A = this chain, B = another copy of it.
Amino acid sequence: MTAPAIQIRPERELAPDGLDRLTSLVADDLAEVNRAILARMQSSVPLIPQLASYIVAAGGKRLRPLLTLASARLCAHDGNRHVALATAVEFIHTATLLHDDVVDESERRRGRASANALFGNKPSVLVGDFLFSRAFQLMVEDGSLDVLRILSNASAVIAEGEVLQLATANDLGTDENSYLDVIRAKTAALFEAACEIGGVIADRPVEEIQALATYGANLGIAFQIVDDVLDYSAAQARLGKSIGDDFRDGKVTLPVVLAYARADEATRAWWRRCLEDQDQREGDLERAIDEIRRTHGFRDAILRARTYGEQATAALALFPSSPIRDAMLDVVTFTIEREF
């Protein structure tokens, strides 16, 4: 496996993990969220908590619920509503992961067997439905129609994004705008909603709620672009994470969009064979990595992620400096300058 020469250096000193500061600032809330996750995935049907705990309690960064907790804290929400709503956000996210893995026929998730690989597709679909319903039950208990509106809208948009992704897969006619449409919907919509509801429950002025939404949406776009770069990253392979999943699935992500646009006709024909005809041979993934690197596809994708990151950062300028705000800015840097 050829290592792609992705050299992204943080522009300022980073904590060992840029999420650490935020995580420690809301540690008590996050512990409550983790307890709520465990409590609310229970069911009289044992397979549900078995499967749900395998995926939901098995780690992950809890990035989306962290954003709800952080936004609520930034807005000086003085109650406890952010905990249940952060739990709802994580349940929606987990439901989409379960369904994604069924749709992608994934065998790995977070460095181990995916739930569908271990339990089968059937319970993965149905437990996803259960967690999605639970999320709405949590919102109903909270009682805010605004929150219900924001998260039901986000859920519909996520599903649209996932279907759009299916439609753009195996289609090298996909351009940067179509790619952005997909990731805005499938990823950024939930980041945006997760942040927005933090401001809503604190009853903040509309411009602050909008600033949180802008922060979340741009962070989400940056996050997904970087995720799509990392799917080709040798450093990920060294960390034991699988790479090349998007390539094998024929997904046309930003690095591929850029490389294809800059390729000569012979190379384009090769890309089409790999991604449109799904005729992939020994060495094709390595060549894809080389082609993307040669055409600066990785570098330019990261540059675009940085642009979205800057917009996320700029949105928080509305709020006075504080430990929580600065930690939310760290999250932007962490998202973009993650381990390659």
Contacts and interface: CB of A to CB of B under 8 A. Distances in A.
Nearest to A122: B103
A137 B153 contact: yes
Given A160-B43, A163-B47, A99 B125 contact: yes
Interface residues of A, number: 42
A67 to B, nearest CB: 20
Interface stretch (A54-62, A140-148, A204-212, A226-234): A140-148
Contact of A143 (B46, B102, B145, B153): B145
A167 interface: yes
Interface string A110-123: 00000000000111
A44 B178 CA distance: 12
A5 to B, nearest CB: 35
Contacts of A167: 45-47
A129 interface: yes
A132 B132 contact: yes
A97 interface: no
A103 B129 contact: no
A95 B132 CA distance: 12
Nearest to A149: B140
B137 A125 contact: no
Contacts of A99: 125-126, 129
Contacts of A31: none
Interface string A42-82: 01111110000000000000000000000000000000000
A46 B166 CA distance: 12
A45 B152 contact: no
Contacts of A270: none
Nearest to A142: B145
A122 B43 CA distance: 27
Interface string A95-108: 11001001100000
Contacts of A102: 121, 125
Contacts of A139: 148, 152
Given A45-B160, A122-B166, A140 B145 contact: yes
Lowest 10 A-B CB distances belong to which pairs?
A130-B159, A133-B156, A133-B155, A136-B152, A129-B159, A103-B122, A126-B162, A140-B149, A137-B152, A45-B164
28 contacts: A43-B160, A45-B163, A45-B164, A45-B167, A46-B167, A48-B160, A48-B163, A96-B129, A102-B121, A102-B125, A103-B121, A103-B122, A103-B125, A121-B121, A122-B166, A123-B166, A125-B125, A126-B162, A133-B152, A133-B158, A134-B156, A136-B136, A136-B148, A136-B152, A136-B155, A140-B145, A140-B149, A148-B148
Given A103-B125, A127-B163, 17 more contacts: A43-B160, A44-B160, A45-B167, A48-B160, A99-B125, A102-B121, A103-B121, A125-B125, A126-B159, A129-B132, A133-B158, A134-B156, A137-B156, A139-B148, A140-B148, A140-B152, A145-B145
